[in-house]
Chain A
Amino acid sequence: MKINSNPKIRSFLIKADHIHHFYDEKEVLSNVSLTIRAKEIVTLIGPNGAGKSTLLKILLGLIPASKGKVSRQANLKIGFMPQKVQLDSSLPLTVEGFLNLANSQQPLLSRLKSLLRTEATPFQTHVIQAMTLLKIEDLAKQQIKNLSGGEFQRVLLARAIVSKPDLLVLDEPVQGVDLQGQTELYYLINQIKDELGCGILMVSHDLHVVMKSTNRVLCLNQHLCCSGHPSQLSEDPSFQKIFGNEFEELAVYEHHHNPTQCDHTHGQHSQTAEQSHGHHHD
């Protein structure tokens, strides 16, 4: 079952056709096909061991799939936010320095030239724009190792958008962030989408919560067991089969919730991370 929330056919950013992947003899991905289009937010969910990371690596081109094909739009620029990076505290690095490293492909000569010029290079302008968008200007001179979990995730997100990507790939972007920080991050991700007009592929191990403005949820458990708009998915029998009946009683993705009232339900029950203005997605 495949439902596209948007009937308009847009050009795809990235497309996977019948992907199979094996580790040794064990099949970890079975016949996975998916398409991500421009300006679309897709959330990939699934239990631990479902093959989410493997699928992501294949889509990003980090590992080749055992079988199947991944096609990308020509010259597709991908911004990537890796899963909870453990930064070594022995490396002294400011937020600004970390963002500037996104430009490592720049040849030495032109980098030296840009040092001599006083006005900002286009790249430096991009860094400043990314910091403004994610509200981390005040952190620019801070050491990365001193940041809180939420701050660091915002810095990683900024790094992912510095190069103005067409597709933003976020691997568990809210992991290890408190509820308020999660809401904030989701709000910022929405803003990024509006500002850059990029497509977003987000991975989450949290089956209960997806971002409000998600156009499509893909549910992975070795194979794609179901996909659809958040509101349809929780009623899908194949979703219930895999993730249990408890969902029958919970209005999974459509639950309007007030973060101030539900700290007792942390993690176990349905919480919907809404962006603060909280309107319904059309």
Chain B
Amino acid sequence: MIDLVLNPPNFLIMALIGGLLVALISAPLGTFMVWQKQSYFGATLAHSALLGVSLGMIMQIDLTLSILVTSVIIGVALFYLAQKSSLSSDTLLGILAHSSLALGLVLLSFQPNIQLDLMRYLFGDILSINLDDIQLLSALLVLTLLFFAKYWQSLLNITLNIELAAVEGIATKSIQLSYILLLALLIALAIKVVGILLITSLLIVPAAAAHRLSNTPEQMLGFTLVGGLISVILGLATSIGFDTPAGPSIVMVATALFLLSLLKKAQ
């Protein structure tokens, strides 16, 4: 154990860096997910990632690429469907989330030759993070930083009241769509860290924990950031120390932080 800390193997360093990058990117995306009540949207994107896995296997292309492309397509489709459809977005998301998951599983069953470890995708496999993943996550971090540096306030206005934002001259549609694209990209890349079933919790639990401690949106972002980083570090440590699965351990730490935040009286 001590040897692992003093002289960590390469894969552990990669796992830590990858996890921390995901926590950094998740903080602004997750706070807005909570503010816009989009957690079901995130879950739908995550579920559709399994469809990406299946399609990637059928077409024999790189799985990360096929997950990325599928996520982005589903994200954009959801964005436009929600604007056009008369069905409530809740129902719409429910249909899409589970039909894409089901379709993914059915497609996988058509390929008996392929042995796929489903658990890796459902619950994450942080120790398999490689340099490519780190590079992709770093690029996404830069994109996310650029986006929020320019549009943090605009996205807040859109979240508060989209009509008021539009009257005040904010390009509501393109900014909201960009946010959704970033979310789709993050979810696609973060599946390795916590898996399809747990990715939304990594986005919303630190933000929910930060909520009670904050008086301003910026404060909430700060606390979310700290909470996310702590969750990844402690979660990985727990995973190593007690030989528990890494993704669920990270989510457990985040949930513990959330429960701690409940101790503070509501303002």
- Name A residues whose Cβ lies closer than 8 Å to a Cβ of B: 57, 60-62, 78, 80, 82, 85, 87-88, 90-94, 97-98, 101-105, 108, 143, 146, 159, 163, 169
Whether a CB of chain A sits under 8 angstroms from the CB of B65 is no
24 contacts between A and B (CB under 8 A): A61-B166, A62-B163, A62-B166, A78-B167, A80-B168, A82-B161, A85-B160, A85-B164, A87-B160, A88-B35, A90-B34, A90-B35, A90-B208, A90-B211, A91-B156, A92-B216, A92-B219, A94-B216, A105-B154, A108-B149, A143-B215, A159-B164, A163-B168, A169-B167
| B-side interface residues, number (CB < 8 Å) | 30
Known: A57-B163, A85-B164, A104-B157. 20 other contacts (CB 8 A): A61-B166, A62-B163, A80-B164, A80-B168, A82-B164, A90-B208, A91-B156, A92-B219, A92-B220, A93-B216, A93-B217, A97-B216, A98-B160, A102-B168, A103-B153, A104-B156, A105-B170, A143-B215, A143-B267, A163-B168
Q: Are A104 and B170 in contact (CB under 8 A)?
A: yes
Q: Which residues of B contact A146 (CB under 8 A)?
A: 267
Bound together, the chains give a CA A260 to CA B37 distance in angstroms of: 42
Interface of chain B, main secondary structure: helix
Which residue of chain A lies nearest to B212 when distances are taken between CB atoms in the complex?
A92
Task: Check if B138 is an interface residue, CB within 8 A of chain A.
Answer: no
Nearest CB on B from A44, distance (A): 16
Inter-chain CB contacts under 8 Å: number:
75
Asked if A97 and B217 make an inter-chain contact with CB atoms under 8 angstroms apart, the answer reads yes
B126-168 interface code vs A (CB 8 A; 1 in, 0 out): 0000000000000000000000011001101101110111111
Residues of A within 8 A of B156 (CB): 91, 101, 104
* A256–chain B nearest beta-carbon distance, Å: 35
A125-B201 Cα distance, complex, nearest whole Å = 42
Picked from A78, A92, A103, A163, the residue with its CB within 8 Å of the CB of B214 is: A92
Inter-chain CA distance A98–B159, complex, in Å, is 12
> Which chain A residue shows the least CB distance to B207?
A90
CB-nearest residue of chain A to B218: A97
When each residue 198-226 of chain B gets 1 if its CB lies under 8 Å from chain A and 0 otherwise, what string results? 00000000001001001111011000000
Tell me the smallest distance from the CB of B85 to a CB of chain A, in Å: 14
Q: Chain A residues near B219 (CB, 8 Å)?
A: 92
Q: A105 contacts which chain B residues (CB < 8 A)?
A: 154, 168-170
